[in-house]
Amino acid sequence: MVVQKAVKTLNADLLNERNRGTFNVEELTNLIDGGAEKTKERRELVEFFVKDPLLHDKVPPEYLSYVERYEEAIRKSCLMVGKINEWIDLKKTGSSVELYQAILGGMLGSAILKDGMPFALHYVMFIPAILGQGTLEQQAYWIGRAWNCQIMGTYAQTELGHGTFIRGLETTAHYDPTTEEFILNSPTLTSYKWWPGGLGQTSNYAIVVAQLYTKGECHGIHPFVVQLRDEESHMPLPGIDIGEIGCKMGMNGTNQGYLGFKKFRIPRDQMLMKNSQVLKDGTYVKSPSDKLTYGTMIFVRVALIKGVSLSYLSKAVTIATRYSAVRRQSELRPGEAEPLIMEYKTQQYKLFPNIASAFGMLFSANWLWSMYHSVTSELEQGDLERLPEMHAIACCLKAVSTSDAARGIEECRKACGGHGYMTCSNLPFSYGMATAAETYEGENTVLYLQTARFLMKAWYQARTGTKLPLTTAYLTQNESLTKFPWSNTMLNVIAAYRQVAYGLIKETTGKVDRMIATGVQQEDAWNNYSISLVQCAQAHCRLFMIEKFFASVKEANVSPHLRTVLMQLCELYGVYFLLNNLGFFLMYSSVRIGDISSIQDWQDSLLAVLRPNAVSIVDSFDICDEILSSPLGAYDGNVYERLFEEANKSPLNAKPVNSSFEKYLKPFLKSNL
């Protein structure tokens, strides 16, 4: 983490940019945070953590060995949890899983434990799983111990050979009524648990998901609380084969592990039995509803849109935009000084749509959070009606957001030229963390196809006159098909997105149907058109995002100056993705070939009007230097001084001559080949 060593002068170009802004940065910050009070709270919290020198890295983690990096992650994680408790005492906030999740995940966590945290799943999955799936007795026994960190847990579901398709899991739990125990076993190599964070060397307990067998019958997957290591010696228990899965593209602080069971026995009461139960004699009692566990899965997906995608993307655009307002290169007009690279249209085109994209994510995620809260309380009253709709929108929004964020971060990194490639720019770390989310918690293609399945169903329902939920209501509207003469307005843009989603879903459904009519099995027809089905889900999601973006800007309680800027971002968002999917717009929407040139001009003019506000907009994300952790993006714009300071943190620079010279290089140079 970069810690400002001395007060540096503010870079004159960056100061100039800030003076050009046409709106109040603090007003936008408050809007992003959800109110001035929230901004104040966030700043206090950040200040409390990032100023603690014990949480700063002496040597950046990328220079340490893999083992040292793990040890540092453990040292800092212990301190971090202690400090959260200090904060709770200080602010008398009361303790909650949400507070831990907020501090450990998101911006703050990513600043202090840049490459992930080995305790994360204890708070994100272990405790919530016991709360959500344990009986009251089980909660009473386990939660206290977990909450005080007397035990450290993880969540072991994914296996070496089995990921998103959880019905395929191979780990077994056979009930033995004679001893009233479950026997956990890993029958194959592919059944080894693989990926859980903290499983390698950190956790001593885990929730293990396994196929339950009792009275000779398999009842599908169920969760069990399993002790993995001795609480005193931390040695793996007999029958437990445990280790770490090795280095990854990122998240190397999370200590992901593998786990195999050799007929390992646990007492009957360690199956989490809030839903289904196994009685003493081995009788299986089925859960009244298996949909109730959907809630947690949706929660995690919604959480990661803001906590991962939005977090890392807003960091990346801040870094790249500030850098582009300091870096000078080439010449625009012969003989003149090298211009700021932000003057280049191509550079604006790399940055500004990604800034807009961050706001698109923010507003959609806010909307989905409110939906999540109301659907959750409906669920508690036994009302499951809106669950499929929420599931469908959460799936595609998770996929679109994680992929927009990952691609956007890479565009920002490349927009910083070679310097973006430096680890210290923090862009490579950000990409590593953001792209991981494209795969975990539901692989994106699989999620798109889940949304597509929902959309196909909605399409047929609409044809039979069934009233559809809000987010798919447009499928009932035949006017979605009516073409209108184009003019460059946001209402037309939104209508065009609606026409595209409608048109794609209509055409793809038709193709699938026609293939089935020729005698092809439904599953094969579905698979044959799955490329189009993914596009349907993407179009549906983009429509959702642009609608929420537009409505949020319209309805926001902000000054006219700010609303103007937000509407420019919203327009850029709409126009950018329209031009990037032009084929579909020409096929299905009111956009005609003759309209394209004016839409391109619109995009060019939006880039131009956003140009003077670019630095102010990213300033409004209000990400402090310690969290940005990038010499390219620091608030003061002293890019080159800071890059030089970072280079000199490389331990290779500690000595003028590395020992490999005497050992290898000198003998080689003197050998006279």
The catalytic residues are 441
Is 574 marked within a binding site? no
Is residue 518 near a second copy by the rule CB under 8 A? Answer: no
Is residue 440 near a second copy by the rule CB under 8 A? Answer: yes
- Separation CA 512–CA 551 (nearest Å): 34
Is 296 marked within a binding site? no
Can you read off the two tokens belonging to residue 469? 């939920």
Strand order in the sheet with 257-261: 193-194, 257-261, 240-244
Stretch that binds a second copy, among 33-41, 491-499, 542-550, 582-590 (CB under 8 A): 582-590
Which of 6, 92, 233, 518 touches a second copy (CB under 8 A)? 233
Is residue 443 near a second copy by the rule CB under 8 A? Answer: yes
Q: Rounded to the nearest whole angstrom, what is the least distance from the CB of residue 84 to a second copy in the complex?
A: 9
Q: Which residues contact 193 (CB under 8 A, 6 or more apart)?
A: 156, 157, 158, 159, 160, 171, 186, 199, 208, 257, 258, 259, 260
Is residue 8 near a second copy by the rule CB under 8 A? Answer: no
- Residue 28 or 169: which CB sits closer to a second copy? 169
Nearest by Cα to 330 from 346, 354, 352, 314:
346
- Separation CA 237–CA 244 (nearest Å): 16
337-366 positions binding a second copy, by CB under 8 A:
338, 343-346, 349
Which of 6, 58, 65, 491 touches a second copy (CB under 8 A)? 65
156-175 positions binding a second copy, by CB under 8 A:
158, 160-165, 168
Q: Rounded to the nearest whole angstrom, what is the least distance from the CB of residue 522 to a second copy in the complex?
A: 9
Is residue 227 near a second copy by the rule CB under 8 A? Answer: no
In the chain, what is the straight-line distance between the N-terminal and C-terminal CA atoms, in Å? 45
Beta-strand pair 217-227/181-185: unpaired
> Do 515 and 533 form a contact (C-beta atoms < 8 A)?
no
Which of 34, 35, 220, 246 touches a second copy (CB under 8 A)? 246
418-437 positions binding a second copy, by CB under 8 A:
418, 420-424, 428, 435-436
626-655 positions binding a second copy, by CB under 8 A:
640-641, 643-644, 646-653
Which of 189, 470, 473, 481 touches a second copy (CB under 8 A)? 189
Can you read off the two tokens belonging to residue 37? 């009070």
- Residue 43 or 248: which CB sits closer to a second copy? 248
Q: Rounded to the nearest whole angstrom, what is the least distance from the CB of residue 567 to a second copy in the complex?
A: 22
Is residue 202 near a second copy by the rule CB under 8 A? Answer: yes
- Residue 67 or 473: which CB sits closer to a second copy? 67
Is residue 12 near a second copy by the rule CB under 8 A? Answer: no
Is residue 3 near a second copy by the rule CB under 8 A? Answer: no
267-326 positions binding a second copy, by CB under 8 A:
none
Which of 279, 292, 596, 609 touches a second copy (CB under 8 A)? 596
**What single DSSP character describes residue 291?**
S
Is residue 666 near a second copy by the rule CB under 8 A? Answer: yes
Is residue 333 near a second copy by the rule CB under 8 A? Answer: yes
**What single DSSP character describes residue 41?**
H
CA angle 31, 35, 41 (to 5 degrees): 120
21-50 positions binding a second copy, by CB under 8 A:
none
- Separation CA 480–CA 159 (nearest Å): 45
Q: Within a 10 A sphere around the Cβ of 19, how many other Cβ atoms?
A: 10
Q: Which residues contact 671 (CB under 8 A, 6 or more apart)?
A: none
Q: Helix, strand, or coil here: 284? A: strand
> Do 17 and 614 form a contact (C-beta atoms < 8 A)?
yes
Which of 14, 31, 46, 81 touches a second copy (CB under 8 A)? 81
- Residue 19 or 600: which CB sits closer to a second copy? 600
Which of 14, 28, 55, 70 touches a second copy (CB under 8 A)? 70
Can you read off the two tokens belonging to residue 551? 């409505």
Is residue 330 near a second copy by the rule CB under 8 A? Answer: yes
Q: Identify the helix (H) or strand (E) that includes residue 206.
A: strand 205-214
On the CB side of 285, CA atoms within 13 Å amount to: 11
Is residue 200 near a second copy by the rule CB under 8 A? Answer: yes
Q: How far is CA 446 from CA 82, 387, 392, 423, 440, in A?
A: 39, 18, 12, 32, 11
Is residue 532 near a second copy by the rule CB under 8 A? Answer: yes
- Separation CA 219–CA 279 (nearest Å): 14
Which of 584, 602, 621, 635 touches a second copy (CB under 8 A)? 584
